[in-house]
Structure 1
Amino acid sequence: MKENGSSLLAQAKWRIIDQTSLGPAFDAMQSFAIDDTLCTSVGSGESDSTMRAWVHHNTVVLGIQDTRLPYLQDGIDYLKEQGYRVIVRNSGGLAVVLDEGVLNVSLILPDAEKGIDINRGYDAMYKLIQRILAPYNKTIEAKEIVGSYCPGSYDLSINNRKFAGISQRRIRGGIAVQIYLCASGSGSQRANVIRQFYSAGLKNEETKFVYPVIVPDTMASLSELLQTDITVSSLMIPLLKTLKETGAQLSAIPLSSHEMQLFDYHLERMHSRNKKALPPF
């Protein structure tokens, strides 16, 4: 039984940063640097709790364990042949596919004095998605979907088919709870991309770390699961409405000049991390 995460959603104010329409030039490394920046400013009290929404085109985001594949270069070559950019993120988990049909949402919260239990962060995001999708009258479960990419205990699924995954990052007194939601397109096609990546990167070699065996049919988009046209835009409307219904004041506030300085610092760290983690091209 997952704990109710409503209390974390009920912030007095939510700062809104909507970056869903920045287009193909918006690089995923920038996104992770922005979330680290916001964690720092939310954690220090410089910023209110923040909801950031974002989209990246044709990008595969790897986890640190993925960079230890014995034939990593072959796996990356496959992804690039399919038209994907490849980056390594700074939060946990394994490889995921991002494209224009995938909505990413970050809830960035201050860590309370006693500390927010890691499951409460996951529960808050789970509760948010349940509310957004409530009109469709489908049971949304939070449990690991074996056969999916980046499997975890808070995979979100309908009828045992995963449409979303949640991760967390904590830095300098702030917490970023991040989710990717497959709104449209084919979930199984995305899963097959990651299946082929692991096939090329492992070549059946035994490794200490057990990489997931991807079964493409375990994944689907919300459009497929709900049998209706779900888009990034159509999810944003109930997302904002749900935050407002908690009683919060919503304000669209861009990064401040101080936050832009922090962003430059965190982006340089992302570039450095990627340079060390990925083989030279």
Structure 2
Amino acid sequence: MQEIHPLLQPKKYRFIDQSTLGPGFSALQSFAMDDALSISVGEQISPTAARLWVHHNTIVLGIPDARLPYIDKGMDYLHEAGYEVIIRNSGGLAVVLDEGVMNLSLIFPNSKDLNIHEGYDAMVEFVRFLFADLTDEIEAYEITQSYCPGKYDLSIGGKKFAGISQRRVKQGSAVQIYLDVTGSGYERAALLKHFYEISKLGEETRFEYPTIDPSVMASLNELLGTSLTVEDVRERILKQLSEFSEAVVTHPLEGEEIEWFTKRLDQMIVRNEKARENLK
């Protein structure tokens, strides 16, 4: 039997489901939410937390994307394709979020005492457990021609279906993963392939942006021949949390957590506006 990573086995999980809030739920709110939860978990006000989130037709750009030579043209292209575009205040590169993509954040305490790889390893293990009845072929290594490539890309047969990032705030750490559940991984990748082509127009750049090959990306349904829905994955996640802990509690932000969320959201909005003002 596979050994369970210690980070995945707290006595209690706090489960927050924001996967059904609809198109009005902004990705800016998501990043502020994880920051607030990271502070709360880090200060041991909240137990280890798991948050689900879905955003409709949203492209999340990284700070390096905002430095593309023709980023204004690239953003115009994305808007014309029907996508909201936000720029996060952290590293990483562009990702596609839509109603077929389930996002999961696991927020762990004691981030300053943990090697940063521990959080990534825990998320990889969680996903392997999550779909253990369907496949034992999930691998973690960089898919270089995917969008937002990284050493913790998750793939099956060389095709990426998920990417992991991590943001540390004070004593808490939010490990975030997007899972392409339904739809076409190829089409999502093709959208960003065109975005980068339009935003670079063949110019040399100091930062190395990915040369995307849409054929290296796919959804879980495409890879496994299944008909999973994001709701199915939600139920799998909740079941997994229950198996890994003694209790799962569900309660919204309260008290200081609301103040932290509001402050972080305001900061996200201001930084996003400044990043847009600096676009060439």
TM value normalised by structure 1: 0.96
Match of 2:209 in 1: 211
Q: Equivalents in 2 of 1:90, 1:5: separation in Å?
A: 32
Correspondence for 1:27: 26
RMSD: 1.3
CA distance in 2, matches of 1:108, 1:253: 15
Q: Percent identity at matched positions?
A: 52
Q: Would you say 1:251 and 2:249 are equivalent positions?
A: yes
Equivalent in the alignment of 2:236:
238
Query: 1:6 offset after TM fit, Å?
Result: 1.2
Provide the residue aligned with 2:177 in structure 1. 179
Residue aligning to 1:69: 68
Confirm or deny: 8 A CA contact 2:128 2:136 kept in the other structure. Answer: no
* Paired residue type of 2:107: I
Q: Is the 8 A contact 1:41 1:259 kept in 2?
A: yes
- Could you tell me which residue of structure 2 aligns to residue 83 of structure 1? 82
Cα deviation per residue 1:180-217 (whole Å; 9 max; x = unaligned)? 00000000100011111101110000001010000001
Quick one: which amino acid aligns to residue 14 of structure 1? Y
Q: Look up the SS of the partner of 1:197 in the other structure.
A: helix
Q: Deviations over 1:215-266 (max 9, x none)?
A: 0010000010011111111111111111111233100011103211111100
| Cα deviation 1:64-117 (Å, max 9, x = unaligned) | 1000000010000000000000001133210000000000000001125x6111
Aligned residues: 277
Determine the C-alpha separation between the residues in 2 that align with 1:247 and 1:53: 18
Mean CA deviation greater in 67-76 or 40-49: 40-49
Please state if 1:36 is matched with 2:41.
no
Partner of 1:267: 265
Structure 1: gaps of 5 or more residues: none
Cα separation, partners in 2 of 1:111 and 1:91, compared to 1, 3 Å? farther
2:14 alignment partner AA: R
- 2-side partners of 1:180 and 1:162: how far apart? 11
What is the rounded CA distance, in whole Å, between the counterparts of 1:110 and 1:181 in structure 2?
23
Structure-2-length-normalised TM-score:
0.96
Following the alignment from structure 1 to structure 2, what is the Cα–Cα distance between the partners of residues 73 and 162?
28
Matched residue, 1:51: 50
Contact 1:132–1:238 (CA<8 Å) still a contact in 2?
yes
Q: Secondary structure at the match of 1:48?
A: coil
4+ aligned runs moved over 3 Å, structure 1: none
Deviation of residue 121 (structure 1)? 0.3
Cα deviation code 1:113-141 (max 9, x no counterpart): x6111111001100010001101134000
